[in-house]
Structures are given as structure tokens and as C-alpha cells.
Structure 1
Amino acid sequence: MLNDLLVRHNRRSGCHRETREGGMGVAGADPLVGLPFLDRVGHRPDPQRRALDVAFGAAEGEPPDLFLIGLATLGVITERRAQTPLLLLVDDAHWLDRSSAEVLAFVARRLEMEPVILLFAVRDGVPSVFDETGLPDLTLTRLDDDASRSLIGAHAAGLPEDLKARILAEAAGNPLALIELPAAAGNLEVTRSWEPLPLTIRLETAFATRLVALDADARALVLLAALGDGTLAELSSAAEELLGLRFDPGQWSAAASAGLGTLDDDRFRFRHPLVRSAVHQAATGEQRRMAHAALARALAGDPDRAVWHRAAATPGPDEEIAAALDALAARAADRGGLDIAFSALERAAGLTTDPSLLALRLARAGNLANQLGRSAEAVRLLRAALRDGRLPANQAAMAAFDLETLTMAWSGASTIRHFARIAEELADRGEGRRALEALAAVSVRAYWDQLDDGTRRHVSAFVARLDVPADDPQRLAALGLIDPIHRGPEVIARVARMSPAGLSDPDESMAAGRAAMAVWADNLALPFLRSAVAGYRSDGRLARLAQALMYAAWTNVNCGAVRHAITNAAEAARLASEARQVRFGRAASLAQAIAVAELGEGETAEELIADAEAALVPLGANPQLSLIAFARGRAALAADLPGEAYHHLVRIYDPADPSHQPYVGGWAFADLVDAAVRGDGDLDLVRALLSDWGKTAAAMGAPHLEVQVAYAAALLAESATAEEQFRAVLTSSAADWPFYSARARLAYGSWLRRHRRGAESRTPLREAARIFDALGQLCFAERARRELRASGERARRRVPEAWTQLSPQELQIAQLAGEGLSNRDIGERLYLSHRTVSTHLHRLFPKLGITSRAQLRDALDPPRGW
């Protein structure tokens, strides 16, 4: 069964954490012997195969990305030779650690068209990762009265009717209670004094009564099983340690006869988790410590498991055990087992006496808790690590930065200056790369925060002096993000001379793309972001892929490429949700909102914006409120509501408004001027802004700013110079920016028509409509056609594009199939099975009015260049 494979994988990799005091460890010497489906592991692409090998402990390597393990698992399941229906059942899934649960949830979300059902059984009222997965629920309700009477009748022969009625009432249709409570009814004296306890506690008490029938040695043996979860041989060895020569193997049969569990596969398996809990609670603290000590001695040859029992048995701090747990944490993290690494470090901290070591272990545990999405635990541990000032300066800075992020606090310039001082100390020791990494950690935050100009100049000057190559992508990203206006010319010049082909790592491509975006050079950013997306896809690094797709989506938005914006943004939002990256996910949703608004889907756009707003406002993500204002402004422009658009967009430029963000103002400037001119905005204000942004664009040479300034100048020009300004836009760099070229043609044609030059207006208006159609800017295209009709040309209303009926994922699949990719290639790229891809294609063909893949390219009529 695959379930056995998954369980053994969890044990081997340290991805599963026991919920009791006992520990998990390595099960068996060879983790891959006798496990099903392993014949398919070797057929997975190299990154996936390596991830499984490392996770299983069959090979050494970098810690595998959880989502890459999930992708590999999905491939193993869906590419198996036998295609008969398959049921995968994970019982008591609420006990799974977060890492294992996320891998399994990743697989479950993608089993759309496979003959496979992945079923998770979770208990009501017990929080679990599966509460957040969005998977469909099948709630098992209580048994009805007839079924309850039938069940108790089969298990309560000879009980008085009044006692049966009492049990029926207390069980409330719970089948486990109806089976177990009758057997314990006599001992519990339920007719006289059954305490009003929760059902689980009553059941636990019922199970505990079965221990009474066992002698002390048998109870000790069952306690070892409850704490150890080992084989019968291991537990028997521990029993000899605990009981000496008195151990009688026949006691296992006595425990089974008492109804506590079953003997099979060389293990004692408790019949229910509540039995294990009952055994645990019935023992004293001293009895549990002695049992743990015996298990530790019995498992001396397996130190990764023994150390948990050594830790549970020790009465106080013990640095030797703490160091062993620390080493275990490092090994677990190397295999991707962040949960067990976190638990080991937290326990190690509890056994540590040295204050400096304690602070380091608390900080590392806090960092792992943060990675695992356990915000409250991360805050608690990081605060404890920082409490006595024992952390080294660079680690203290990172811990403080993470703490600020988690608590939605931000000390702004002081944090940046603190990181700069640490970076300077590292640089003085000749560690320029580490100094750059220290600043890279806060550079994105610096971009969005309202830092003073002096701080930006000081820190960026330090970055410029670091002993790293001048065209290092991470250096350029730090310069662009920390001080975009003053460092923009250097960033633009260096990125313009670079090529994605010259960068071997997707992280480098991402850094180059972010550097260019930060200085309003989206046209330079896009090739690097595409390269980063391709690299992260190949590596299976889904969290980073989500970020790269989000940046690409915003670049598409700024360039007006609607279709690519929709597909990139929708995928980014989906993956960011799985990776628990709330801010990145909502930023992607806002990019998608703009794109769908420009298709004419205003209601969908507002739903996306409202959802993002509801998620971001409680996080205190005030800088991102500028993106909400930007999205609402662009959506209003698409709906031809310029007055409303101006109301939203002008907020970005008001320092007193919560939506103020100076650099987003560089993205939205042309939209603001468009809205002001057509929507009775404050023209004096926008003219002043034009002067400021014009100087910035001229000084920086930022392409996106330059084209917006030229477009805005034409819109604001007096009648005597307007035509000259429009012609200047159309013969300038706007040719490299189709969205602005089309907008300039639309504005110019409209200006000609208003000046009674209808015949002359038709050529730019026709060209504008054509370009808008190619970009997917259907609302703008319809505006151009309305102007054409007003000019006297009998322009037909365009039939709605067939591709607008497709969902974002269907559109993405159709685009890839239109490029000639096979179903298997598309599945690998989008983390879907090839059968799911085939089904999507089968469903989307009728929507496009086609019958074959060969017709896809013409049906989609993809835009060129963008």
C-alpha cells in the first residue's frame, strides 16, 4: 500500500512528529526496500528523483523543497503502470505534521481526472492543516436512532434497558462510544455517577478501565508501546531493561485479550488513539520517565530515535542531550523535515544551560516555526532569543526583522540602518557576499517603506562599494530596491547589457528582473522574470515560482498584456496560497483584477480587489494599499469611469493618505493623467506631477517613466501644441510599448475627431483598436471602436473573443498547447497530470469553436512581442 510508503517516508525523513512524549526516528536500515511504486521513482525528472532520494534518506543533498516532493509523489502516483482505480487513505490525518500534510494536500488538489481518490480522515474539533487546504469535505454525521439501537444491541447484551438508554443518550450517535461504553458501563457505574465530561474523555476513561485487568508487568509493557511505537522486538528489549528477567512475552497476548490492541506485522497496534492516550494518562510521571529511559537504552543503536526518549527521561537540563537533539535537527532539516527539526531544537533549548547556546537554538527554532507558518510560536521563540542580547549581531538583526514582520511592526529607517551597520561589519571582515545577503533580506521592505532620502543614499552607497562584481544581480536588486531614483541609471545600464542566457540560476534571473522593475524598466525585467519562472518550474521550487509569476504578472499589467497577466497572476495566486504567502498571493490577485477588468469583467475584478483588501488590511500591509488603489483606478478606467478612476489613483500621490506610495506612483502616472483629463481631475496637480516625474524620467532614463511622461504631456498639451506632442509620442520609444502606443493613438484620434477632422482620426483609431485587440485590452478596443463610429466610420461591433470564456487555467493550457507542447509537457510545466490536461483541452475546444489542437493558435490569436 502507498500508505505504508508514505508512513515510512515520514519516519525516515523526520517529516512526522509524534503527538505523545515518544519520538520518531528511522525505521529500518534501508528505507527503500519492499516499498510499492518505487519502480516509478527512477522515471521522474532528475530534480524530483533527487528530492525523493534525499527525503527517503537514500542519498545526501540539499534539503528538498516540500512542493518538489509533492510533485514527485504526484508523478509516482499518476504515472504508475496499472491504471486501475486506487484509493489512498490517511487515517487520523489531523496528527500529521504540517510538512507531510502539505505534501499530501498538494497531491490531493491535483488529482482531478485520475482514477485515484485520496481520502483524509480527520476528527471534528481537532485543528489540522487540512482546515486550510480548500479540499472538499465529506462530513460523517451521527448515527440515527435505529442504527444506534442496532449497534448497541450487538455490543450490550445483558445490560439493563435503563442503562442502554443512558448510554444511547450519552453516545449521541457516536459509533465508537456505542461499542466501547457498554463494556465499561459496570466499572463506570453510569447509572449513579457519570460525570458530564466530554465524550472523548469518557471514552478514554472507558479504555483505561481495561488496564485494571492487567498485572503491573503487562501495564508497563503497554506503557512502553504507548511511548515507543517500535517493533515487538524493540519493545521487548525495552521491557527487559525496565522489568529485568521478569519480562514474559506472553504479556503481549494479555494486552491484546484486554481489548487494548492487536498483534500484527511485528507490532502492537492500539485499537484507537484514545487507548494510547488512556495508557499514557494512567501512568505517573515517574513511571513514564522510567519507561522512556528503558526505551532509550533499548534503542541505543538508533540514536535519532533514542535521543527523544533520553530527553523525555531526563529530569532537568542536560547539554549532552541538547547537543544530540541539535544535531538531529540539522539532519532532519537536510532531508526537508522542518517539523522534526523544529521540535528537536525547541526541546534542545529546554535542556540548554549556556545562555548563548540557548539564544541561538531559540532563534533557529523561531525561524523554523516561521517557515512552517506557526506565527504565534515563532513570535514567542524569537522574543525569547532576543531577550538577553546573547545573539550575534547579524543573527539578532535577522531575528528582529522576522519578529517585526510577524507582529506587523516596522521601525523603518532604524531597521535599515541597523542592517547596514551589520553589513558594514561583515564587509570589514572581507565578507562582502554575506554583507550583501544581509541587506538583501530587507531591500524589498525598504522599497515599500517611507524611508528618508538620506538613509536610502547612505545604504545604497555602501552597497555600491561592496567587494562583489558590479553586475551581480543581487547587488543590482539591492541598489534598485533601496534607492531606485538615484541608483536607477546604473541599474538600467547594467541590466540592459545582461542576458538571461548568461545567468545560470533562477535566483539570479529573479534578482535581475526585480532590479529592473524597481527602476521602472519593465521591458527589461520581463525576459529575466520569464527565465526565472522557467527555472523555478524545472526545479519544482513552487514558493519561489509563485513570487516570480507575481512579478511577471505585474510587468504584464504595466505593459498592458492582458492574457499573460491573467494566466501568470492566477497561477501565482494559487501557488502562493499553497505556500502560505499571503502578501504575494494578494498582490497577484490585484494584478489579475486589473487584467480581468480590462476584459470587461468588472464584477470579477471588484471581487478580487475586495478579497485582497480584506486579507491585507488586518495584516497592517499599508504600503500594499497603494496596489489596491491602483487596481481600482485601472478597473474604473477600463469601465470608462474616469472620475471614479481619478478618485482612487490620486490617493497614491497624497502623502497623508494611507494608500500613498511614491514608487507605485511611477507605475500609475499615465493612468492618473488620463483619468484627470477625462474625469475633471485637478489638472494643476497633475501638471505639477508631470514636471516632477518628467525630471526623474530624464535623469534616470527609465523606459516606463519616459513613455508615460510623453503620453501625459500630449494629453495635457494646449491645443496649439497637442498634435505635435501626439506625433512625438508615436515616433518615440512608445513603439516599444504597444499598450501606450495604442493609448496614444486612441487619444490622438479622439482629439482629431473633436477638432472636426473625422477622416484623419480614423487611421490612428483603427490602429489603436487593432493593437488593443492583440493585447487583449477589450475595453480599450471597444472605446476605440466607439470613437470610430462617432467619426462616421461604420465600424462593426466586435464579436466577443472566444478565449474570454476560458478560465485562467484553461487559457494557460490552451496557450501552451497552441505552442506545440504535448499534454505530458504541459502537465509537467503546470504540475498537473497529463490526463487532467487532456480533459481540460477536451472541455475548452467547444468554447473556442474548434475541434483540434491545430486550430488553437488561430483561435487564440496571441499577441506578438508582449
Structure 2
Amino acid sequence: MTEPMTAGPALPPLWLDEMHRWSHAQPMAMSTETQLFGRDEVILQLVGVLEQVERNGVAVGLTGEPGMGKTLVQAHVSELARAAGFAVLSARGSQRETHLPYANLHQLLTPILATVDELPPRQRDSLLACFGAVEVEEVNPFFTSLGVLELIVRTANDKPVLISLDDLHWMDQPTLDTLAFVARRIEPERVVLLCTSRSQEPLLGDDQTMTWIELEGLSSETAETLLRSRSPELATPLRERVIAESGGNPLALVEFVKALQTGTYAWSELDRALPMTDRLERAFTARADTLGPAARAVVDVAALDDGDDIRQLVTAASLLAGSTVGVDAVSGAVELGLLTVDGSTYALSHPLMGSAVRRAMTQGRRMEGHAALATTLAAFPERALWHRAGAVSGRDESIAAELERAADSARRRGAFATALARLERSAALSPDPQDQASRLLSAAELGYELGRFGHVEQIKSRVLRMTLRPRDRSRLTWLEGAFHDGATSEPADVRHLVRLARTANDDDDTDLAMQLLFGAARRVWWRDPGESVRHEIIGAAREVPLRSDDPRLLAVFGLAESLELSAAVLAQLDHWPVDLGGRLELAAPLGIAAFCSGDFVRADSFLTLAINQLRGEGRLSLLAEALAIRAWAEINLGVFDAGRSADEGMRLSTETGQKVWAGTAGLALAVIDAVAGRWQGRHWSLVKAEQIALQLPNASSSLLAGAQLARGIAELGSNRPEPAYGELVRVFRPSDPAHQRVQQLWTISYLAEAAVSTNRREHARPLLAAVEELTAGSSAVGAEIALEYTRAVLSDDDTAEGLFLAAMAGAGSPFPWHQARTQLAYGSWLRRQRRVTESREPLRAARTAFDALGTKPWALRADHELRATGERGWEPAPNSLEELSPQEAQIAQLASQGLSNREIAQRLFLSHRTVGSHLYRIFPKLGITSRQQLAEILIGATAVDAVLNHPQSSD
């Protein structure tokens, strides 16, 4: 069998024994490390995780209140892993460095950065630019993340990797974003990610990504053993009081005793009414209060510093103290256990020590400390700027402007989260309230790009109370609906957007005007605010001085009046060549315009151009949206291939925090499963989509209508036409939350199919007439397919045959699903007319097509009709492709086209090893051993390309 994946060398046969020897060398309860007392069970649990690394990668987090020993447990496990042959990559978060973009990522990757030149150029340059090693025009964070994944996976080819991340909650946000990308993709790799954090916040993903282990307090017996080993002279009453008040917290056990023994820490400060963090900070403060002025200057600067260079520390401390600070001052802080020194670098002994010292400083002292650091760090402009900002007491426009420029620099490097933090600091220092509001809005727009709903809402609530310039007022209004993707569709809100767009147009701000109108039109799509509002949007759009075929204009027309302006939009789309003359940036709005107007073939063509461009640029948020829309274009053409758009669209939407698009793609997956007969009970993606719709400020009728369509098709596939009709008819009831104008057109043919089986033709015909009136004779392929089929199946017997023949020769004829549905309906009608012999040909054709498409319920229904004519002996054709998951099918398709594992990995934002793992599973499922056989088995297995490349696509 051809091996599609290259695995790294296995660990030495005795590595497990070596690990167990390390972990059981002495009873953990008797360890000399304070916070390892009583941690035998959790260490053995983590050893078990390491033992599984050859089977699958995993991400594990240790959580618990400060002082529980998370860091020491992690360090101990890291040593066990290193002794067992792991490559250990480590990084530690620091509250002082959270504003430094990619600082922790650089710390993590330093041991393996020497191999960075082996990465593809775009990944290499994007990653190095984050560290300031090369200059590029703009950093793409997703190429950075993919480069990091590749570096780690390359290392894992030689030996398993442990990624050790301490104090995750203090890591800079760009690093966290990158590591979250990696954590979601390590399952098939020889990689274990072990982190520590104070809480189980989803910093690296949800519960499906991370497994959390909470460290709890030591038992009374273990606590007493610990105290006896560290302070054997401690009097029994004092020892019992400390044990009782510490709650078993190992750090508290030791620090309370030290603080009490100094005489500067009172019994009252052990009071449990105080949070443990406060009590520990007071213990550290008590120790720091015993220092002399020079040593205290060292500790104060260390608490504010965002670096670890001891020379910089001493220089800044000398400026703060007003006299030269010597090595003895540093030694004094080290002797008291407040600092640790390793060669030319230093660290705080515990993160709580830093926060304790900062809280103990007066504002003046903190400002003096920041000023000393700003002077010391003059050779590091961005670090110095941050400290200069901390050294001012009031507002300062010059520093605010510098921070704004630094934010722009960070954004170009892909450090969007750092840019956001700098903009907020810039706003805080802005003397002009309107400048402050403008900078806050810029921060909110970055938050929107990052998918941070809560953060954006906080900024918006502040800006709402401020005086805004007209343009900023428009930006705020756009942000009001941007995060919900048009869900807030109250007529007054939409009209307000239109008024702002008109104002922007009057000010010759065309881009802002179209941005606002696009937002208004998108709200119409998600929930119709009424005819008069739609007309206002169209009227305002026509006032903007743009060419009649401008893609932005066509997208607004398509979204706002998809049915009424369908013919006009399609006529303008004819002006654009299939390849758009190389202007690929126009593909997305043109694809939206075509989709909303019902030209699903052209929508697929334009969206495919957009998807290829967005994929190449690594713009995953927009890529996810385009994939979700294309998935529905495919469904409306009868192409049910989850691996082509829907599955990836849902995964990327979830990853980028776009709930609405995740729901949209998830509904497409539900429909695909429904037609294939794979839907049993409640479909998970449909339930999730409905939850998303109902959580929005206004329930999205578009999502709810899609859910009803999925349910109706599933009921039809289960041969339950009665409930199918009940599900589908909800889309047509104006009072129903699932009512949606455009999706009535998508739904009408399935409603008609259910109506025939439940003798509801008379009930369904008025609904057909209403849809025909809405479409107003549209020539869009989607409208023609739906209406030709529906007219035929709902017709009287005296006109049915002509309409069936017209439908089979009409717009649906190039599309196997739609043609087969018409053939099934026609053959069934012929049989009911007792024209048994004539019925067999269309029924056989339908059965063959449904079988080839993998839509088994409809194939079985066609076979049932054929058996009623006297035919026997048919069995569904086996299809090994059905054994593949959507992602496996996508990888198989790309591999069959000749792409290498690395090329597939770059396209799908995976590691090449993950692609190899998938192929390793794909080959046996398909009963093949080579890529050549893969290409052979996939030829003709799907009609997707034939359908979507029909000549109509270039009409």
C-alpha cells in the first residue's frame, strides 16, 4: 500500500518506563518542591496524556486559584517529557507584557526558528514580520498561524512535542490567537499542549478544543506535612491557624508563615472574608516593605517592566531612586524571594508579587517608574512609547497620536489585538473628546474584525454618551448592526442607516454611503422590514453617483429587492465577463448580487473566484462567508456535496466567531444530510442554527426559513409528506417567524411535492400564484427551475403532461437533481393515469440519477413506483465515497487533482501531516492504495463540475 503520510521516528521502546521512573522516583507528597505536595494524581494523569501522543494530539489546561502549584506541576511534567524524548517548547505569560504583540510566540518558537526558511515564502515572511525580522507591507495573521503550525509539526516529525504555556491569561492576544489556531489542529499530530490559567476561559477554544483539570487545595494532612517540612519550628497553634485560613493553598501556607514571622503582617489579614488573592498580595507586600530604598526601587521597576533584562532593570531603578543602584540591591530582593535571576535576565518570583507591588505604589510612584523605563528603553520605540503613556497624569495629544500610529503599525503586522489596545490607550489620552470617540470607534472596528462581540459592545456603550462628528456617528450606526450581520431589522433602524448614507453621499463620501446601504440591505435579507423601507434603500442607492453595473450597487439591489429587481440585476451582470477581467476584488459583491437574484450558476462562478482569492490571501472571515453562501447556491442547483463548501464554511465560521454564517453553513449541511437520508432525530446543525437565530436581537427569519426547508426535506426523505407540508408551509405565513420572501421561491417546489402526496393541491396553488407574482417573470435559473416543476405537479390532469414535458426540457434539464425530481413526478403521474408502460422510462431515469447523486430516499421512492408497475430486482449501487467525512472528501478531491499534501494543507489551513493522516484513512475506505487510483475512482463519481460548468454560467 502506498504510504500517503510520512511519520516521524517512534519514541525509544523504553520511554514509558523512563517516564514512570521519573514520576515515581520518590513519593510526591515528600517532594522538596512546595507546591508539588499532594499532586501525585494530577501528575500521573498528565503522564497518561503524554503516553497517548503517538495516537493523537491533545490540549490540556491546568486551572485553579493563584498559588495552587499550576506552574510547578507544569514544570515537573515538562521535565518528565524532556527526559522521555519530547521536544519541549515553553512560554510564560506576564501581565507586564500583554501589550507586546507576539512576545510570547517568539519566546515559544525561539528553539526552532532556525528552520523557518523551510516554510513556504508567505508563511515565512508573515511569521518573521511579526518578530520585526523582515519588512512586509502587511502581515496576515492566518499565514502566521499556519507557519507556526508547520514549524511545530516539522519538529514533531522527529520527536513528539510538548507545548508548555504558563499563565495563559497574561499572554498577549496575537499570541493567543495564533495558539488557538494551532490548538484546534493538533489532534492528528504528535503534539501535546499543556497550559496553565487562573480560569477555564476559552482563550484557546471551547471545551471541544481544551480539556481542563482543576487543582484544588491540599488536604489538612498534606498541608501539615508541608509546613513541618518547611518550618519545623512553627508553634502548633500558629500552624493550625495557617492551615485553616489557607484553604490548602500551597503558596499561602508558606507565604502566610513568612509574612507573620516578619512582624509586618497582622492576624486580621488572614481573615477569610478577604479573597485569597488579596491575602497573598498582602503577604508579598509585607515582605517588600522590609526592603531599603534602593532594593525597593528595583522591585518597583520590575513590577512595571515589560522585559527581563537585568541591566535595563538596574538602569531604570537608578533613575527611579535618584542614585546608582548596585548589585547588592538586586541581591536583597532575590534573598527575600521577590525576584529570581538567571544570568543576565530576571523574573518576578510569582505574578501575584508584581500585582501586589503595583497596587501598593502611589500613582506618582507608578508614573515615575514608567518614566524611568521610558528613558531606559529609548532604543526600543514601541516599548518606550507604552511607558511614556504610563508616565503622564492627564491627556496628551502628542502621545495619543503616536499610539494611534503605533496601532496602525501593529495592524499591518497582523497584531490586531495589540492595535486595539493601543487605540484604546490613545483614546484615553486624547484631549479632544471627538478625537477620543473616533479612536474608540477605530478600536471597535478592529474588535469587529476580531469577532469580539462583548468588547465592541462595551466600546459602543461608551461612545453612545459622547459627542461625535457626523462621520463617526455613521460609523457607530453601522457598528450597531454589523456584529449581528443585519439581524436588527426594525424599520426605524434601517431607515436611520439610509438617512446616514444619504448624508455621507451629500458629503461625497461614496465608500461610507455604500457601506451603510449595504448594511441596510443585508438587514432586509435577514428579516424583511417592509416594502416601503426596501424602496427607500433602493432610492438612496440610485442617488449615489456610481455606474449602473457597479458591483456594490448590484449587491444592494439584490439584497434589498431580490425578486422585484432580479431582471434588472441580471441584465447588469451580463456586462461582467466570467473572469471579471482579472478584477477579483469585485467577485464577492457580484456573487452576492447573482445569488440573491436567483442566478445560482453565475453566483457559484463569481463566488468561486472570490473564494480562491480569499483563500490565497488567508482572509478566513470573508472566506467563511463566501463558502456559506456558495453552499446554498449549490443546494439550489441540486448539488449536495458537503465537502465542497458547507463543511469548510461552517468550520471556518465557527473558528472566526461568525455565528450567523456558521448557522447558514450548518443548515446547508442539514439539507445535504436530509436528501441523503442520513438524518435521524434532531439534526445538531439545524438545532444550533435555530439557537443562533433566536439569540439575535431580532430572530433571523432567513435562518428560521432555512431550518424549515431542511426539516421539510428531511420529512419528505423519510416518506412523511404530512409533517413535511406542515414544516414547509410556515415559510409562507406572514405571521410566522420563519416567513421569508425570497426563500418562498426556494421552498415552493418541495411544498408542492408534499402537497401532491397529501391531496393539498388546491391549498398550495394560491401560494404558487403569490410566488409567481413576487418573481414577476424573472429569468433567473433558480426561479425558472422552481416554478416549472411546481406548475407541473400542482396542475390539473388535463394540462399536466404539457407542463411536465416543458419542465423536463426547461431550466432544470442540465441539473440532475431537478431533472430527476421532475422525471419522478412525471412517471408517478403517468402511472396514476394507468399509462404504466410509459411511466417506466422516466421512473428508471429518475432512479438512476438519484442513485448516482447519493440521494437514496428519492431513489427508493422511484424504485417503489417502478415496482408498482411490475418491475423487480433493483438494488442501490454501493458507493464507497459515502464512507468519507466531508473534509476527507474535500482532501480526496484535491489529491485526485494532483495537489501535494503541502499544497492541500496550505489551501485548507491545515498541516501537511494532518492531510497525510486523512489520506491514510481515506485509502482503505475507498479500497485503493495509490493516488492514481484515487483519481480514477473520483472520475464521474460526482456531477458537481458538470452541473456548475454548464454553459448557462457564462450567459
TM-score after normalising by structure 1: 0.91
Helix, strand or coil for the counterpart of 2:707?
helix
Q: Select between 797-806 and 660-669 the one with higher mean Cα deviation.
A: 797-806
CA gap 1:391/1:778 in 2 versus in 1, 3 angstroms: farther
- Displacement after TM superposition at 1:158 (Å): 1.9
- Displacement after TM superposition at 1:157 (Å): 2.6
> Equivalent residue for 2:422?
344
Q: Using the alignment, how far apart are the partners of 1:607 and 1:269 within structure 2?
A: 48
- Displacement after TM superposition at 1:332 (Å): 1.9
Q: Could you tell me which amino acid in structure 2 is paired with residue 669 of structure 1?
A: I
Q: Select between 515-524 and 450-459 the one with higher mean Cα deviation.
A: 450-459
> Equivalent residue for 2:211?
137
Q: Using the alignment, how far apart are the partners of 1:232 and 1:273 within structure 2?
A: 18
Contact 1:520/1:666 (8 A) holds in 2: no
Alignment partner of 1:195 is 2:274: no
Contact 1:491/1:515 (8 A) holds in 2: yes
Helix, strand or coil for the counterpart of 1:396?
helix
Q: Using the alignment, how far apart are the partners of 2:108 and 2:898 within structure 1?
A: 40
> Equivalent residue for 2:692?
615
Alignment partner of 1:637 is 2:716: yes
Helix, strand or coil for the counterpart of 1:336?
coil
CA gap 1:430/1:204 in 2 versus in 1, 3 angstroms: closer
CA gap 1:605/1:772 in 2 versus in 1, 3 angstroms: farther
Q: Using the alignment, how far apart are the partners of 1:501 and 1:95 within structure 2?
A: 48
Contact 1:553/1:566 (8 A) holds in 2: no
- Displacement after TM superposition at 1:252 (Å): 0.9
- Displacement after TM superposition at 1:171 (Å): 4.3
> Equivalent residue for 1:573?
650
CA gap 1:306/1:491 in 2 versus in 1, 3 angstroms: same
Q: Using the alignment, how far apart are the partners of 1:361 and 1:750 within structure 2?
A: 66
One of 643, 667, 672 as aligned partner of 1:595? 672
Alignment partner of 1:776 is 2:831: no
CA gap 1:605/1:53 in 2 versus in 1, 3 angstroms: farther
- Displacement after TM superposition at 1:273 (Å): 0.7
> Equivalent residue for 1:628?
707
Q: Select between 194-203 and 182-191 the one with higher mean Cα deviation.
A: 182-191
> Equivalent residue for 2:23?
none
Q: Using the alignment, how far apart are the partners of 1:500 and 1:392 within structure 2?
A: 40
Higher helix share: 1
CA gap 1:659/1:566 in 2 versus in 1, 3 angstroms: farther
Q: Select between 341-350 and 77-86 the one with higher mean Cα deviation.
A: 77-86
Q: Using the alignment, how far apart are the partners of 2:892 and 2:933 within structure 1?
A: 10
Q: Using the alignment, how far apart are the partners of 1:505 and 1:181 within structure 2?
A: 68
One of 405, 430, 444 as aligned partner of 1:327? 405
Contact 2:514/2:552 (8 A) holds in 1: yes
Q: How does 1:80-229 map to 2 (within 5 A)?
A: 83-124=158-199, 127-130=201-204, 132=206, 134-142=208-216, 148=223, 150-187=225-262, 194-196=270-272, 197-229=274-306
- Displacement after TM superposition at 1:351 (Å): 2.4
- Displacement after TM superposition at 1:131 (Å): 5.7
- Displacement after TM superposition at 1:756 (Å): 2.1
Alignment partner of 1:659 is 2:734: no
- Displacement after TM superposition at 1:657 (Å): 1.1
Helix, strand or coil for the counterpart of 1:486?
coil
Gaps in structure 1 of 5+ consecutive residues: 9-15
Q: How does 1:735-750 map to 2 (within 5 A)?
A: 735-750=813-828
Q: How does 1:248-647 map to 2 (within 5 A)?
A: 248-393=326-471, 395-405=472-482, 410=488, 412-427=490-505, 432-464=510-542, 466-496=544-574, 498-502=576-580, 504=582, 506-562=584-640, 564-565=641-642, 567-603=644-680, 606-620=683-697, 621-623=699-701, 624-647=703-726
Q: How does 1:708-723 map to 2 (within 5 A)?
A: 708-723=786-801
Helix, strand or coil for the counterpart of 1:88?
strand
- Displacement after TM superposition at 1:385 (Å): 2.6
Q: Select between 654-663 and 832-841 the one with higher mean Cα deviation.
A: 832-841
Query: 1:748-802 CA distances to partner (integer Å, 9 max, x unpaired)?
Result: 1111222222222221111112222232222212211222222211142325533
Helix, strand or coil for the counterpart of 2:164?
strand
CA gap 1:699/1:34 in 2 versus in 1, 3 angstroms: closer
Q: Could you tell me which amino acid in structure 1 is paired with residue 899 of structure 2?
A: L
- Displacement after TM superposition at 1:596 (Å): 0.8
> Equivalent residue for 2:727?
648
Query: 1:179-202 CA distances to partner (integer Å, 9 max, x unpaired)?
Result: 544433534778887311333333
Paired residues, number: 852
Q: Using the alignment, how far apart are the partners of 1:34 and 1:693 within structure 2?
A: 59
Q: How does 1:712-861 map to 2 (within 5 A)?
A: 712-798=790-876, 801-857=879-935, 859=937
Q: Using the alignment, how far apart are the partners of 2:188 and 2:481 within structure 1?
A: 44
CA gap 1:23/1:42 in 2 versus in 1, 3 angstroms: closer
Helix, strand or coil for the counterpart of 2:565?
helix
- Displacement after TM superposition at 1:428 (Å): 5.0
Query: 1:189-233 CA distances to partner (integer Å, 9 max, x unpaired)?
Result: 788873113333333233223213311221121011101133222
Helix, strand or coil for the counterpart of 2:347?
strand
Q: Select between 666-675 and 43-52 the one with higher mean Cα deviation.
A: 43-52
Q: Using the alignment, how far apart are the partners of 2:731 and 2:227 within structure 1?
A: 68
Q: Could you tell me which amino acid in structure 2 is paired with residue 595 of structure 1?
A: I
Q: Could you tell me which amino acid in structure 2 is paired with residue 774 of structure 1?
A: A
- Displacement after TM superposition at 1:63 (Å): 4.2
CA gap 1:233/1:270 in 2 versus in 1, 3 angstroms: same
CA gap 1:27/1:3 in 2 versus in 1, 3 angstroms: farther
Q: How does 1:13-52 map to 2 (within 5 A)?
A: 19=95, 24=100, 35-52=110-127
Contact 1:552/1:565 (8 A) holds in 2: no
> Equivalent residue for 1:690?
768
- Displacement after TM superposition at 1:244 (Å): 1.8
- Displacement after TM superposition at 1:818 (Å): 3.2
- Displacement after TM superposition at 1:519 (Å): 0.6
Helix, strand or coil for the counterpart of 2:295?
helix
Helix, strand or coil for the counterpart of 1:87?
strand
- Displacement after TM superposition at 1:341 (Å): 2.1
Q: Using the alignment, how far apart are the partners of 2:391 and 2:203 within structure 1?
A: 30
Q: Using the alignment, how far apart are the partners of 1:218 and 1:42 within structure 2?
A: 45
Helix, strand or coil for the counterpart of 1:573?
helix
CA gap 1:145/1:425 in 2 versus in 1, 3 angstroms: closer
Contact 1:401/1:415 (8 A) holds in 2: no
| Identity %, equivalent residues | 36
CA gap 1:146/1:33 in 2 versus in 1, 3 angstroms: closer
Contact 2:628/2:661 (8 A) holds in 1: yes
Q: Using the alignment, how far apart are the partners of 2:714 and 2:877 within structure 1?
A: 22
- Displacement after TM superposition at 1:69 (Å): 1.8
- Displacement after TM superposition at 1:98 (Å): 3.6
Gaps in structure 2 of 5+ consecutive residues: 1-81, 948-955
Q: Could you tell me which amino acid in structure 2 is paired with residue 228 of structure 1?
A: D
